[in-house]
Structure 1
Amino acid sequence: MTHPTPEPLTTQEQTTLTQLESTIRGGWHGFVTVGEALLTIRDQRLYRAAHRTFGDYCEQVWGWSRQRAQQLIDAAETTHALSTIGLQPENERQARELKEAAKVVQHLEPEQIVAVAQYLKTATGSDKPTTSQVKAAAEVAASIDAHATVQHPDTGAEVPLHTLTGEQRAAAIAENVSTGTHERLQRQKQHIEDSRQQASSTGRGGWTDWCLTYAQQHLTDTQELRIVIKRDPSGNPKAHALVIDTHTHATIASGEPADWLKKAVLNLAGEIQA
């Protein structure tokens, strides 16, 4: 593989690099500022005077793999996206859990963003909504396009969204996000409850049997229940249970990562019930 030849930085670029590296050194507890600094260094190729690639720069200057640097960049980008709907992840772990939801939020129209923010603020009853609530609201909002049929906010009649005025559109989108998200979360909750009852009635009460029962009763042909095991940023192995739509790549439900498999599955069940 041919790598680019090192190139000198301009005086301004060198000043910028020095400032950004100072931010990284002083920002171990501020993952957003660290991620932003790394993003700028990568995109502006401020590493090029002494390092052939961004990966070389990360390893030789900071002792990180390129993958670790990308995790910090992703966390910063996720935080920026979620700020548009009034959310602020408290730490990098929360940002990672909300990464897929943030990707959806990034492509929402202003009216959809307002509707999601309004739902999360008023309907969840908490300033810290669950991952499932955020994902569900964002995905419901994303499914509403200009050609969608909605209820007219004044008459209740079914009309194409594009025929409404600005205020009417905003009201209709907000109502659809609120109703659609509530219905989606209720379906998820009912799926879990049905699976638990089925497990109880058949005598299959273990967490592994619960997974099989849930899959048999509720997964569609394009859905998968996955248990993923990978290392966290500290190098510790974590188990993560989630339900994925393989066609849209949307995360339908996701539990918090855990130190053992059973706990990961219980976290998934608890998240869907929330």
Structure 2
Amino acid sequence: MTQELSVAEFGELQECEKEMSGGHLQMCRALLRIHDMKLYREQYDSFDEYVDDRWGWKRSQAFRLLNYAKTMREIEKSPIGDIRPKNEAQVRPLTRLPLEDRAGAWFEAVGGKE
């Protein structure tokens, strides 16, 4: 069952979908906002339905991108936030860890260098 978005939520959805055409990390961050705020709910019953219909992605692909955005957010908040993974493939092994352990694991992966 779909639910109507407020004017502010509709504006947020439009902004996020505009950002989806930007760089890869920017796109993943916008997708995370759409997911977390449930901005898809006016036209779709589920996030899975939204990403499949709107972007042609399966659930696994969408959640891999969400995990990338979440992990990058944690790394950027950490003391080594300026030493970032170059792409989603470098982040993928970290996503098997609890979210709170990912930045520390990245720090170890880069040799503990700041």
TM class, shorter-length: 0.7 to 0.9
Q: How far apart are the structure 1 equivalents of 2:46 and 2:98? A: 28
Counterpart of 1:78 in structure 2 is 71
Give runs of aligned pairs for residues 28-47 of structure 1, distance below 5 A. 30=24, 32-47=25-40
Larger Rg: 1
Larger RCO (CA under 8 A, 6+ residues apart): 2
**Is the 2:71–2:103 Cα contact (8 Å) retained in structure 1?**
no
1:92 deviates by 0.8
Residue in 2 that maps onto 1:152 = none
Please identify runs of 4+ aligned residues in structure 1 that moved more than 6 A: none
> Structure 1 or 2: larger strand share?
1
| More helix per residue | 2
Q: Secondary structure at the match of 1:82?
A: helix
Q: How many residues align?
A: 107
User: What does residue 6 of structure 2 align with?
Assistant: 10
The TM-score, its normalising length taken from structure 1, stands at 0.35
Q: Answer yes or no: is 1:120 the counterpart of 2:75.
A: no
Within 1, Cα distance between the matches of 2:93 and 2:6?
39
- Aligned counterpart for 1:22 among listed residues 6, 18, 24: 18
Question: Are 2:67 and 2:95, in contact at CA under 8 Å, matched by a contact in 1?
Answer: yes
List gaps (5 residues or longer) in structure 1: 109-114, 123-274
> What CA deviation, in whole Å up to 9, does each residue of 1:195-242 have, x standing for no partner?
xxxxxxxxxxxxxxxxxxxxxxxxxxxxxxxxxxxxxxxxxxxxxxxx
Q: State the SS of the aligned residue for 2:38.
A: coil
Residue by residue, what CA displacement relative to the aligned partner does 1:171-206 show, whole Å, maximum 9, x if unpaired? xxxxxxxxxxxxxxxxxxxxxxxxxxxxxxxxxxxx
User: What is the CA deviation profile of residues 79-103 of structure 1, one whole-angstrom value per residue up to 9, with x for unaligned ones?
Assistant: 2222314130101100112334573
